Amino acid sequence: MRQFALILFLFAATWIASAAETNYFCVVCGKGPLTGRIWMSKWGAVCDDCYKLENHCSLCGLPIGKDFVKTGDGRFICKFDQPNAVLDVAGAREVFADARRELVGLFGRGFLLNFPDVTVNLFDVDYWSEKGREDGLHKFGFSSTRRTRTGDCTHEVVMLSGRLRTELAATAAHEYTHLWINENRQAEHAIDSDTIEAICELSAYKLMEARSQPEQMQRILDNPYTHGEIKKLVALEKQNGIGSVLNWVKNGTTATLDTETSALAAPVKKSALTFSNVPPPLPAALKLAGLLLEGQSRRAIVSGVSFAPGETKAVKLQNRTVQIRCREIQADSVVLEVAGVPEPLTLKIGEEKFVP
C-alpha cells in the first residue's frame, strides 16, 4: 500500500477502471486498444504494465519506456518533454541570450551590461552535493560577478540542466538581473536581500508576461522565496514603471523600496556579491499528484495524503501542518478548503500551489 501510494505520488495520473475495450493506446509502449486498468497521464493513456515501470520522467512523472534522454546526473526525461527540455550548454546559452535580449527590449538600453561577456554553464543536481552544500535546497540557478582592481567585471551564470525551456528562461532573466545589479548598485548602497531577489523575480515576471505565460507569472507571485516582496514590486512597477526600480538600484540610498521612513527603520540583511536563485523545497506547496477513480469512488492524493470528498485531514508541509478539507473531486481537479484561508483552492492534476 505504501509503495502504491508512492507510485501514485510520483506519477500524476488518473486511474480509470474499465473492463471493456477502449480506444486508448499506451503512450509509452504503443500497446492497445487497452482494456482493464488505465492510467490517464497528461500525455494520454498508460497501460498497467508500463505504469509499473521503475523509472519516471523528472519533469512530468511519466513512466520511462524505451524512448528517453538522461541527464548527466541520471534524471530521465520522457520523449514528450525532450523537445522542450534544455540538456546542453549550447541550448542554455541560447535561452540566456534570448532572455537577455528580450529584457533589454522591455526595459531599455539602460538594462545592457557595461561588461557584456557572461559565461553561461549548466550544472547537474549532484553539483551541489559535490560542493558539500546538501542543505536540502534545490537550486535552479546561480550567478556571480567578480570585480578586478581596475573596476572591470567578469560575470558567470550556471543553471540547472534538464528543465523546460520556458522555466529556464525565467531563471535566466533572474540571474541576468543579478549581474546588472552587481554592476550598477553603488558600493555604499546596501540593499535588503529580499528586495534584491524580488527585483530579479520582477524581471522573470516581466519576461513571462511578455511571452504570455500566465501560469509562470502566477508561480513567481506565489513563490514565498522573497517573503512577499515580489508582490510589492509588481504593484510598484505597475504604478511607476520599471525605470523607477532600476533608477533606485543605481541612485537610491535606502535598503528597501518602501517609503523613506520605513526603510530607515528596516534592518538591512547582509547581501554578498554572489547570489542563487533558490526555489522553495517542494513540500512547501500543495500538489495534486493524481486522482484514483474506481467505479463511483474517487480519491485525491494531495501532497502524499489521500482524500475522499468531505474528508478533513492534516497535511504536513515544509514548515507547518495545515488542516485541509476536500470539498469536491472533479474529473481532473480537486477543490480544497485550507484552514485559515478564506478562498477555496482548486488544484489540477500535477499542479502545485503555495498555501497563502
User: How far is residue 69's CA from residue 293's CA, in Å, rounded to a whole number?
Assistant: 31
Q: Which of 7, 12, 13, 62 binds Zn ion (CB under 5 A)?
A: 62
**What is the chain's length?**
356
- Residue 309, exposed/middle/buried by CB under 10 A (0-12, 13-18, 19+)? middle
How many Cα atoms within 13 Å fall on the side-chain side of residue 278? Answer: 19
Report in angstroms how near the CB of residue 117 gets to Zn ion at its nearest: 35
Q: What angle do CA 221, 224, 227 make, to 5 degrees?
A: 100
Q: Which of 29, 266, 273, 278 binds Zn ion (CB under 5 A)?
A: 29
Residues 6+ apart with CB under 8 A from 308: 297, 298, 299, 326, 329
- Give 28 or 198: the residue with its C-beta nearer to Zn ion: 28
| Residue 10 touching Zn ion (CB under 5 A) | no
Q: Helices (DSSP H) in 26-161: which residue ranges? A: 48-51, 89-107, 126-130
User: How far is residue 157's CA from residue 175's CA, in Å, rounded to a whole number?
Assistant: 7
Report in angstroms how near the CB of residue 78 gets to Zn ion at its nearest: 3
- Give 26 or 315: the residue with its C-beta nearer to Zn ion: 26
Report in angstroms how near the CB of residue 271 gets to Zn ion at its nearest: 37
User: How far is residue 346's CA from residue 334's CA, in Å, rounded to a whole number?
Assistant: 6
Residues 6+ apart with CB under 8 A from 131: none
- Residue 40, exposed/middle/buried by CB under 10 A (0-12, 13-18, 19+)? buried
Q: Which of 8, 12, 26, 169 binds Zn ion (CB under 5 A)?
A: 26
Report in angstroms how near the CB of residue 80 gets to Zn ion at its nearest: 5
- Residue 294, exposed/middle/buried by CB under 10 A (0-12, 13-18, 19+)? exposed
Q: Which of 38, 81, 217, 298 binds Zn ion (CB under 5 A)?
A: 81
Report in angstroms how near the CB of residue 125 gets to Zn ion at its nearest: 17
- Give 57 or 233: the residue with its C-beta nearer to Zn ion: 57
Q: Which of 16, 53, 60, 293 binds Zn ion (CB under 5 A)?
A: 60
| Residue 59 touching Zn ion (CB under 5 A) | yes
- Give 47 or 291: the residue with its C-beta nearer to Zn ion: 47
Q: Which of 50, 204, 257, 334 binds Zn ion (CB under 5 A)?
A: 50
Report in angstroms how near the CB of residue 33 gets to Zn ion at its nearest: 12
Distances (CA, A) of 156 to 136, 143, 147, 159, 182: 24, 6, 12, 10, 12
Candidates 31-39, 231-239, 268-276, 282-290; binding stretch for Zn ion (CB under 5 A)? 31-39
Using CB under 5 A, count the residues that bind Zn ion: 12
Candidates 21-29, 149-157, 304-312, 325-333; binding stretch for Zn ion (CB under 5 A)? 21-29
Residue 302, C-alpha cell as written in the block: 494531495
| Residue 57 touching Zn ion (CB under 5 A) | yes
Instruction: Report the site for Zn ion in 296-355 (rule: CB under 5 A).
Output: none
Report in angstroms how near the CB of residue 8 gets to Zn ion at its nearest: 17
Which spans of this chain sit near Zn ion (rule: CB under 5 A)? 26, 28-29, 31, 47, 50, 57, 59-60, 62, 78, 81
